[in-house]
Structure 1
């Protein structure tokens, strides 16, 4: 092997090794779909846990299984003003501090209590109280959009409460035992 090639390879390898400590491989990537919000994957996961606490899975699918957190982020990103988006994101980022230890590691009963406590928050005019107001706003907005996204989902509209564009024929005399699932939309 030529000595010049060996020296060139050593220089390239040592230069690469010098740059490795400056690279941060553990950072949370910002999701590109929500360009106005700058949401990371861990924040989206936290939003998923909060929405799953609001509508958990049981006999029917829960909010997390229907991808309601994506609906929430799209609605906040596309339909809200910048000041409202900032409050929502401040509340989302301040929620782990409000919840104490890791919210996802709490039991379902403890998560419900934390969400209810956050919905009852009232703040004064101090800066730390503004953080509590933002957490309250985040939870109230998340609750509203979770219910909206869940009830408008394809799963609910087709399998749980089938949507009927045109109401069925009038039946004046029906036995109660013959009544089927209610059709609330038609």
Structure 2
């Protein structure tokens, strides 16, 4: 009987030792899809709030409704060189501190108008020590607009999408053309 108890205890101890290294007790997990950027889920949420400030939802879906923050992170992770990625992440990491400096609160705690003001002032920041922040916001704005206009929602539901341009029509009255409804 004592041998069974010893084997059971040994099996439990071995199982526990195997399980402990797989338990991660760190505060935030780094998202593996953006391996070069080392972005956590809270940083992804902050980027979503910034993109939603740039293109808010209204008559049309907003940037965060379309998960444009994922598009931005993929573009920065895969398409930018290492120096540009470092500059982007340096600006990204300093953005919340910049928001606290300007408004006294974290960006996520601000009202919509205050968020717009922080983004606008960050885009037009003149000082040399804010180059990374200005670059981060400029890149974020550019990729937000690009991702929004090229999203499936915009291409299929808002604009009339045609995979292949239609027949060539040499003479067409401008009034007879169908207008795209980009404002909702």
TM-score calculated relative to the size of structure 1: 0.77
Of residues 58-67 and 25-34 in structure 1, the stretch that sits farther from structure 2 once superposed is: 25-34
Residue-by-residue CA offset, 1:20-40 (whole Å, 9 max, x unaligned):
9xx863511011111111111
Gaps of 5+ in 2: none
Relative to 1, partners in 2 of residues 1:114 and 1:183: Cα closer, same or farther, differing over 3 Å?
closer
Q: Corresponding residue for 1:138?
A: 136
Q: Corresponding residue for 1:114?
A: 118
Aligned mates of 1:171, 1:84 — CA distance in 2: 46
Q: Corresponding residue for 1:78?
A: 78
Aligned mates of 1:94, 1:41 — CA distance in 2: 17
Aligned mates of 1:44, 1:54 — CA distance in 2: 15
CA drift at 1:180: 4.1
Root-mean-square deviation (Å): 3.1
Classify the secondary structure of the residue corresponding to 2:74: helix
Gaps of 5+ in 1: none
Relative to 1, partners in 2 of residues 1:48 and 1:168: Cα closer, same or farther, differing over 3 Å?
farther
CA drift at 1:117: 0.6
Q: Corresponding residue for 2:145?
A: 147
Mapped contact 2:47–2:69 kept (Cα < 8 A): yes
Residue-by-residue CA offset, 1:4-60 (whole Å, 9 max, x unaligned):
948x95xx88xx8xxx9xx86351101111111111111111111000100000011
CA drift at 1:182: 2.6
Aligned mates of 1:167, 1:55 — CA distance in 2: 35
Aligned mates of 1:60, 1:168 — CA distance in 2: 32
Mapped contact 2:48–2:69 kept (Cα < 8 A): yes
Classify the secondary structure of the residue corresponding to 1:33: helix
Q: Corresponding residue for 2:49?
A: 49
CA drift at 1:87: 0.4
**Does the alignment pair 1:102 with 2:122?**
no
Aligned mates of 1:167, 1:65 — CA distance in 2: 35
Residue-by-residue CA offset, 1:89-123 (whole Å, 9 max, x unaligned):
01111100000022112110000000001001122
Classify the secondary structure of the residue corresponding to 1:30: coil
Q: How many residues align?
A: 170
